[in-house]
């Protein structure tokens, strides 16, 4: 990546000039004249600085690798306020994660990890650029000096290492007997009309023979899990959260809003005719249609007052590697460009929490035997003109010698515990099978 090195040198020269000893913000952007020799994820993996965030849009047309944090934000409202305060810097992007319980101020777990990066390497279509942001609430002179030191820590890209981690054991939480009990409790609550739907999740902890390289693992997922958003936030060399999610939380283009209801699942099949038959069954299955329409109705209700002219598209089949989903796209016009408002209205959706949302969340908090943290939250970016977040599904937490996989299933009247268990097995397989040659399901811990 010689051209990136040349741009870094230009940046260093620009930063060496005179800077005021006052607060302020400056941004530098450089176009790359040709496609880099290696991919953005490979470049990001090589960098020794943290945090670092990777993002690829679902259609593959947009991609970003960003690293180093100029400043971080405790919640979406703070991030949005920062963007609005600096609207004269139109390319200002903030990247990161929002937790499932992003509105829980009392949680021990930090509910947001949104940050303004020092360096962004981005692609849209076949156009590449590198962006550097210098910001300080005290002294731009000091920040320019720190940025130059940061630039000198950047290194050339290199190939990602092969995935060599072997699965030693695995543990489900809840295990299948506890899962069956949980489903029974949920169905009793549904029968008592406490709620119509609740989405219950499972965490599977894989103990590995050696730490997993998060970038290499995401690259392997990106290679086989198509029609998905791919994202990763690495906090340290051995701690990261990543995923390949099929579901958009929302895309805001100025005041246009695009969201969707992704609910209702059936297995995929490698044979196209078999897969089509399964998809046709899903389109005509009453239980799955009800589940999807519950989500549609909830989204439309939650957008009342914040958006108008809502259009709901007909149901379609989204075919993924291991499963197929029912999807209805929803389009509307926002009263104002309010990303914090969109997050508050839409996260968590009924597709990952349930209905009514508060009653379902209370059931999850009381009975689900682990804290979801980033799982079923959201990942993406916000900026003045456009913001986009995916629901953090088909996701995993990399923690040194452990890999935690997450998957969930929507429970409604008529749900069967064994079928729902198989559904989460199929969903988790999207990432688990990347280690399949080393995976030994017979070894169960606990």
> Would you please indicate which residues are annotated as catalytic (active-site) residues?
197, 247
Residue 87 makes CB contacts below 8 A (sequence gap 6+) with 384
- 291 annotated to bind ligand: yes
For 256, phi then psi, to 5°, come to -80, 135
414 φ/ψ sector (left φ>0, alpha ψ -120 to 50, else beta): left
3-state secondary structure the chain: CHHHHHHHHHHHHHHCCCCCCCCEEEEEEEEECCCCCCCHHHHHHHCCCCCEEEEECCCCCEEEEEEEEEEEECCHHHHHHHHHHCCCCCCCCEEEEECCCCCCCCCCCCCEEEEEEEEEEEEECCEEEEEEEEEECCCHHHHHHHHHHHHHHCCCCCCCCCCCCCEEEEEEECCHHHHHHHHHHHHHHHHCCCCCEEEEEEEEEEEECCCCCHHHHHHHHHHHCCCCEEEEEEEECCEEEEEEECCEEEEEECCEEEEEEEEEEEECCCCHHHHHHHHHHHHHCHHHHHHHHHHHHHHHHHCECCEEEEEECCCEEEECCCEEEEEEEEEEEECCCCHHHHHHHHCCCCCCCEECHHHHHHHHHHHCCCCCCCCCCEEEEECCCEEEEEECCCEEEEECCEEEEEEEEEEECCCCHHHHHHHHHHHHHHHHHHHHHHCCCCCECC
- 423 annotated to bind ligand: yes
- For residue 4, how many C-alpha atoms fall within 13 Å in the half-sphere facing its CB? 24
Residue 277 makes CB contacts below 8 A (sequence gap 6+) with none
391 strand-pairing partners: 378
d(CA 85, CA 96): 19
Mark the binding-site residues for Mg(2+), compressed into ranges.
291, 423
**Which residue ranges are tagged as binding site?**
291, 423
């Amino acid at each position: 990546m010689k051209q990136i090195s040349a741009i870094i040198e230009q940046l260093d020269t620009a930063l060496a000039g005179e800077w005021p000893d006052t607060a302020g913000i400056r941004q530098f952007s450089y176009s790359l004249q040709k496609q880099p020799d290696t991919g953005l994820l490979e470049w990001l993996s090589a960098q020794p600085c943290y945090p670092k965030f990777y993002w690829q849009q679902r259609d593959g047309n947009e991609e970003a690798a960003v690293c180093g944090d100029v400043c971080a934000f405790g919640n979406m409202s703070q991030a949005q306020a920062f963007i609005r305060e600096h609207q004269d810097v139109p390319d200002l992007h903030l990247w990161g994660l929002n937790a499932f319980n992003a509105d829980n101020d009392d949680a021990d777990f930090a509910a947001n990890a949104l940050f303004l990066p020092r360096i962004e390497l981005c692609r849209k279509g076949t156009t590449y650029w590198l962006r550097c942001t210098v910001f300080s609430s005290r002294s731009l002179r000091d920040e320019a000096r720190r940025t130059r030191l940061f630039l000198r820590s950047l290194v050339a890209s290199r190939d990602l290492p092969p995935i060599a981690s072997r699965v030693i054991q695995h543990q489900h939480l809840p295990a299948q007997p506890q899962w069956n009990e949980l489903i029974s409790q949920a169905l009793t609550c549904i029968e008592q009309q406490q709620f119509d739907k609740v989405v219950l999740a499972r965490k599977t902890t894989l103990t590995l023979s050696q730490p997993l390289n998060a970038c290499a693992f995401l690259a392997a997922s990106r290679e086989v899990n198509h029609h998905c958003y791919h994202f990763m936030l690495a906090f340290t060399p051995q701690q990261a959260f990543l995923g390949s999610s099929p579901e958009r939380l929302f895309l805001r283009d100025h005041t246009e809003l695009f969201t969707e209801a992704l609910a209702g699942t059936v297995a995929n099949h490698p044979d196209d005719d078999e897969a089509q038959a399964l998809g046709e069954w899903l389109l005509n299955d009453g239980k799955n249609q009800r589940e999807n329409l519950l989500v549609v109705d909830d989204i439309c209700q939650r957008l009342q007052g914040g958006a108008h002219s809502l259009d709901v598209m007909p149901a379609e089949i989204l075919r993924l590697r291991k499963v197929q989903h029912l999807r209805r796209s929803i389009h509307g016009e926002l009263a104002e460009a309010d990303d914090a408002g969109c997050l508050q209205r839409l996260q968590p959706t009924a597709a990952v929490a349930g209905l009514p949302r508060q009653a379902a969340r209370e059931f999850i908090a009381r009975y689900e035997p682990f804290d979801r943290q980033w799982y079923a939250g959201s990942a993406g970016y916000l900026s003045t003109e456009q913001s986009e977040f995916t629901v953090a599904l088909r996701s995993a937490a990399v923690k040194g010698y452990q890999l935690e996989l997450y998957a969930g299933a929507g429970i409604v009247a008529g749900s069967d515990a064994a079928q729902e268990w198989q559904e989460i097995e199929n969903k988790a397989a999207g990432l688990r099978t990347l280690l399949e040659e080393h995976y030994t399901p017979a070894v169960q811990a606990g």
